[in-house]
Structures are given as structure tokens and as C-alpha cells.
Amino acid sequence: MITAKDIANYLQLALNGKNTTIKCYAQLSSPLPHSIVFAKKYSDSFAYQLNNVDNILSIVTPEYKNRLTCSHIISKNPRLDYIRVLSHFFTQEKPKDFIHTTANIEHGATIGKNVFIGAGCYISSQSIINDGCIIHPNVVLDNRVVLGKNCEIKSGAVLGQEGFGFERDENGEPVHFPHFGDVIIGNNVFIGSNTTVERATLGSTIIEDNVKIDDLVQIGHNSHIGEGSMITVGAIVCGGAVLKPQSYLAPNVSVKEKVTIGRRGLVGIGAVVLKDVPDDTIVAGVPAKEINRNK
């Protein structure tokens, strides 16, 4: 049994109201009795709605103070604290040290402790998977891929195969550049479904610690993705591009080869980045142009 007090204690925040029992989670638009919800912005209609649901717990911004009669927790970042509560109290972890019988793991691959590998995966002999990783069904780790600790790779992702690198010969025929490099991925990295991360031609394609990559993303050969960066759905990072730490690519962004996105740079939806972006800068458009500075 989970109580509102349990949740408040976990968040190290004060509980306002009675210590009700929490049985489920719900959306703010359709709250349920004995559920937990969150509100990022103040609204009179949301306050009225929350006050008319029995035995609900809400995590809300300071604007709601003295306006709620239901049980509530005041938070500076309600969405973040709600995520923490769901992850701690409601999420079921995958079994540890589990490798599905249909996974194809070549002799020589290194598998750490507490690793989950789902059905239909292919893990090459040169791959290294460190402790605590979760690899969902039908993932490919080809050639030499090194996964740090506690990474999660969603279904259909392909890591470590060769990229699209060609040079035309004297007759105009495309000749493929052979790839001899690898893919090095740090700790706590999340990679979405059907995302591809290409091995380097020479050297390494690098994804640093705490990077989060959405579904359907292309990371080209020899790219370097800095710590804590986030890349959302449909983005294309061409070969040799650099994203410095804490950068952010919105959906369907394209970054030209060997372009650098500065530290904490933000690229707006659908932008095409053809030249370097300075630190703490927001760009958008086709081609991308500066529209604001974060500092």
C-alpha cells in the first residue's frame, strides 16, 4: 500500500492535507479517486477539478498554495517529481541477468552483470556490454560497440554498422569508404527504437554519459555527442558533427557533417543547421539562424 505520506517522504517535501491511500496514477484532465496527478501551471479550472475528486494527491507548483483542499505537495518542478514518483513506486523493473533464448550472442562478446537482452538481438563478438544495461528485442550491436553502465537500447536500434561514405572514381562510380572504427557509448545512455548509430570510418563515434536519444534518429560516423545532450525524434546528425554537452535537438532537425552545436545550444523543430552554433544559443529555420541567446 502506498500513501501520500510515503510519496512526500520520498520526495523530501511536505504533505498538505490528509494522508490518503494512492492506488494508481492519472492524467490531470481525467483525475481518479486514489490517484496521483501533477500540474505544471496554475489554472482555476484545474484547482476546482482537483478539489472535487475524493482521495487524490496532486504535485503542483507554488501558485496552488492555499487554493487546494485536496492532498497536495508543492514542488518547484512538478513534472520532474511526478516522474520520480512513477519510476520509484509504479515502474516494474525488467528481470536481471536475463538473456532470451533467441538472442544471438557471438563468442567473445563481453556481457556484464544484471544485463537484460531481449528476443532476436544480435551481439557481435567484439561488443562490450557493461553492468545494468537493458537491451530490448531485435537490437543489433555489430562490429565493436562498447556500452557503458545502465544504458537502455529500445527495439530495432542498430549500432555499429557502416555508414554512408562514398567517393566517386574516375568513371564516376561510387566507391564505399571502408569503416574500421567503433562506437563508444557512456553510462546511463538511452537510445530509442529504430535509431542508428554508425561506426566510425577511423577512430570512434562517441556518445557521452547521460545522453538521451529518441526514436528514428540517425547518428552518422565519427559524430561526438556531448554529455547530457538530448536528441528528439527524426533528427539527423551527419558524419563528424559535434554536439557539445547539454545541447538539444528538437524533432526533425538536420545537422550538416562536421558542424558543431555549442554547449547548451538549442535547435528548433525542423531546422537545418549548416554552420556552427555558439554556446548558449537558440537557432531555428532553414537554414538555421540565431533567434535568441540562453544567457
Strands 71-74 and 57-60 come out as parallel
- Rounded CA-CA distance 31/294 in Å is 36
Choice among 31-35, 186-190, 266-270 with the minimum mean pLDDT: 31-35
Are 48 and 126 members of one domain?
Answer: no
- Whether 136 is catalytic is no
- Check whether residue 158 and residue 242 sit in a common domain: yes
**Whether the predicted pLDDT of 228 surpasses 80:** yes
219/83 same-domain check? no
Name the pLDDT band for 5 (thresholds 50, 70, 90): very high
Q: Is 113 exposed, middle or buried (0-12, 13-18, 19+ CB in 10 A)?
A: exposed
Residues 120 and 219 in one domain: yes
For position 295, what pLDDT does the model report? 58
Torsion angle of C-alpha atoms 47, 49, 53, 57, degrees rounded to 10: -40
- Predicted pLDDT at 163: 86
Q: Mind listing the pLDDT tens digit for each residue in 26-57?
A: 998 888 899 999 999 998 988 988 888 889 99
Task: Tell me, yes or no, whether 85 and 208 share the same domain.
Answer: no
User: Residues near 174 by Cβ (< 8 Å), separated by ≥ 6?
Assistant: 166, 167, 168
Instruction: Give the pLDDT confidence score for residue 167 in this predicted structure.
Output: 84
Same domain, 85 and 126: no
Q: Residue 85 belongs to what domain range? A: 2-90
Distance CA 105, CA 103 (A): 6
The stretch 81-86 carries a mean pLDDT of 95
**Residue pointed to by grid coordinates 555527442:** 225
Pair 209, 157 in one domain: yes
Here the CATH number for the domain that contains residue 74 is: 3.40.1390.10
- The better pLDDT of the pair 49, 242 is held by 242
User: Which is catalytic among the residues 72, 136, 221, 224?
Assistant: 221
Q: Whole-structure pTM over 0.75, yes or no? A: yes
Whether residues 104 and 182 fall in one domain: yes
* Average confidence score pLDDT of the chain: 93
3 state SS for the chain: CEEHHHHHHHHCCCCECCCCEECEECCCCCCCCCEEEEECCCCHHHHHHHHCCCCCEEEECHHHCCCCCCEEEECCCHHHHHHHHHHHHHCCCCCCCEECCCCEECCCCEECCCCEECCCCEECCCCEECCCCEECCCCEECCCEEECCCCEECCCCEECCCCCCEEECCCCCEEECCCCCEEEECCCCEECCCCEECCCCCCEEEECCCCEECCCCEECCCCEECCCCEECCCCEECCCCEECCCCEECCCCEECCCCEECCCCEECCCCEECCCECCCEEEECCCCEEEEECC
Of 226, 191, 188, 236, nearest to 206 by C-alpha is: 226
- As for how many domains the chain has, the answer is 2
142 pLDDT tier (thresholds 50, 70, 90): very high
Q: How far is CA 254 from CA 4, 34, 164, 261, 282, in A?
A: 45, 45, 16, 12, 15
Domain end (from 66, 90, 114): 90
Mark whether 219 and 151 lie in a shared domain: yes
> What is residue 169's predicted lDDT score, i.e. its pLDDT?
86
Interaxial angle between packed helices 78-85 and 4-11, expressed in degrees from 0 to 180 and rounded to the nearest 10: 110
Give the end of a domain, one of 63, 90, 117: 90
CATH of the domain at 174: 2.160.10.10
Residue 8 has pLDDT above 70, yes or no: yes
- Give dist(CA 266, CA 64) in Å, integer: 31
Q: Which residue, of 43, 73, 90, is where some domain finishes?
A: 90
- Report yes or no: 169 and 186 within 8 Å, Cβ to Cβ: no
> Are 122 and 49 within one domain?
no
261 pLDDT higher than 80: yes
